[in-house]
A and B are shown apart, each in its own frame.
Chain A
């Protein structure tokens, strides 16, 4: 079948463009930001400046300032680091855990497989946000905890996906051939099954990053994630909510950034999953 390639799909192109832009902003935050993200300066003179206005010192604030006179654009750029890093690392943990569980359950069937699948179904039925709130509240909130918690509560759907693919791969002739040649289960799992189940994991991962970014911002919004004064999009939305009447840009800007990035991951994920469905036929 002729492969159209990702670059011909407008969704993939838009998604990749958004993500490159977002990652560049995050990595180059010190260069693209115009101010120190935590610098407050003269609070009375510089607070609540609307977007594109100039303060008393003659400095332009692209997206305005918040109630402490901090530059919103600069905080947004530094906040992108938190959001993207947390989302990607948490999804990586979830993908590795889910692939491991699914692979073991699919290759070593019988009691081990049944046990792991039961555990997966159980974990899938737990209300994730309740668990997140519990964990974030009980231990000291912070970036590392959020990554661990999001990773530990997000592996189940990947495990189910990999299990299904692994069971299908195990009935293929190449696995029978490997077994006839005397290959051990571990070797079959790692050399023959894993490479054939990894594509759907990548697709699910692209969609999962967007979800993780949204949840991280949600925890920060409730004050249970990344702690102020470190800039995070969720925390910015939370503090901007209190000043929504006289300075709506403080809450609106990080939300728009969040939606754009999550849409980017979703578009890329959609395009990848359609492509994968087309290729496997």
Chain B
């Protein structure tokens, strides 16, 4: 009996994962197609950009043929997808380096920053929300104003503010990059410490930004659940307050919070784009911004694709987390 239920549950989970994988693939394909169409709709000719203002018409036509720009759009698109699937993302116009190598160096920096700040901002946000539920009314109101202000703060500005305070006024942390100039010559322990010091400022910025939104949401969810009849019933049965809080209140309030986690990933990635630009953090966001400013089309295409993949994978993980935390979803 028990094993039959277990098998059913695994099957429905597998179906769920497969369904989500296909939806995710469709989104990534859509982003690629959209980026491709937009790049070709936009004014400006990459061949003219490359050849310079003095190129003759013959030279331009020659360059277009070499770049494959004279072929029909659909053929170009399929050609790009085919090459990308084989790991050939083309060459950057601005730097002349293979795009694959540029992104291969960049994505771990973004993944570290986003995943750590996601974890920390949810921990911090839920803790603030939980503390607010137990506070007197005036303190709850004051904390709410603070979390709303954090929620309303643009990432690049909070980054500039923290940089001003922690770097230039209090001289606590380095301003930008992943490592100091002397990092190569440091012993391993000091090198790790140097890395962590460089990570601190971008991570703090992103975490604070996220924590404001999570705290607002968690407080709302906790307040709603606290008014539910089953909480009153649990208290009336004489359960200790910690047990009521942990097993009845927190567990139920976490369900909408985890749903938000999946939805907040695109927003967090957006925040990372700006924060990476402020702190010169060498991730996908910075590569994307620099490529966009330099009109470096192959890099823009690839960075858009990779960021879409990151967001889709994050959503999938959040979906699985929801199933893990809520038996109703798991068995649905």
Contact = CB atoms under 8 A, between A and B. Distances in A.
Interface of A: 122, 125-131, 133-140, 210, 214, 217-218, 221-224, 234, 237, 240-241, 244-245, 248, 251-252, 255, 258-259, 262-263, 266-267, 270
Interface string B230-271: 000000000000000000000000000000000000100110
A134 B304 contact: yes
B31 A130 contact: yes
A126 B27 contact: yes
Contacts, number: 125
A263 B145 CA distance: 9
A214 B163 CA distance: 20
25 contacts: A122-B30, A127-B31, A127-B270, A128-B270, A130-B303, A130-B307, A134-B35, A134-B38, A137-B295, A138-B39, A214-B152, A217-B157, A223-B293, A224-B293, A241-B278, A244-B168, A245-B168, A251-B157, A255-B153, A255-B154, A258-B157, A262-B152, A263-B148, A263-B149, A266-B152
Contacts of B39: 134, 138
B205 interface: no
Contact of B269 (A127, A221, A266): A127
A131 B26 CA distance: 17
Given A122-B27, A126-B34, A133 B292 contact: yes
Contact of A126 (B30, B157, B274): B30
B164 A244 contact: yes
B154 A214 contact: yes
B160 A237 contact: yes
A139 B295 CA distance: 11
Contacts of B289: 133, 222
Interface in B150-175: 151-157, 160-161, 163-164, 168
B161 A266 contact: no
Interface of B: 23, 26-27, 30-31, 34-35, 38-39, 41-44, 148-149, 151-157, 160-161, 163-164, 168, 266, 269-270, 273-274, 277-278, 288-289, 292-293, 295, 300, 303-304, 307-308, 311-312, 315
Contacts of B311: 125, 127
Of A122, A127, A210, A262, most buried by chain B (CB within 10 Å of CB) is A127
A267 B164 contact: no
A126 B31 contact: yes
Contacts of B274: 129, 218, 221-222
Interface centre among A136, A221, A234 (most CB of B within 10 A): A221
Given A218-B274, A221-B154, A252-B164, 12 more contacts: A125-B27, A128-B266, A130-B288, A130-B308, A133-B292, A137-B292, A237-B160, A244-B164, A248-B164, A255-B161, A259-B153, A266-B152
Which one of A133, A139, A221, A270 has the greatest number of beta carbons of chain B within 10 Å?
A133
Nearest to B141: A10
Nearest to A136: B292
A41 to B, nearest CB: 26
Nearest to B40: A138
A interface: dominant SS:
helix
A251 B168 CA distance: 14
Contacts of B160: 237, 240-241, 244, 251, 255
Contacts of A133: 273, 288-289, 292
B137 to A, nearest CB: 12
Contacts of A244: 160, 163-164, 168
A221 B35 CA distance: 23
Cβ-closest 8 pairs across A and B: A138-B42, A262-B152, A129-B270, A137-B292, A255-B157, A125-B27, A263-B152, A214-B154
Contacts of A122: 26-27, 30
B104 to A, nearest CB: 19
A248 B154 CA distance: 17
Contact of A258 (B154, B295, B308, B315): B154
Contacts of A248: 164
Nearest to A140: B43
A99 to B, nearest CB: 21
A204 to B, nearest CB: 15
A75 B26 CA distance: 45
A258 B269 CA distance: 21
A135 B149 contact: no
B307 A127 contact: yes
A248 B163 CA distance: 11
Contacts of A240: 160
B42 A139 contact: yes
Given A137-B295, A244-B160, A262-B152, A129 B273 contact: yes
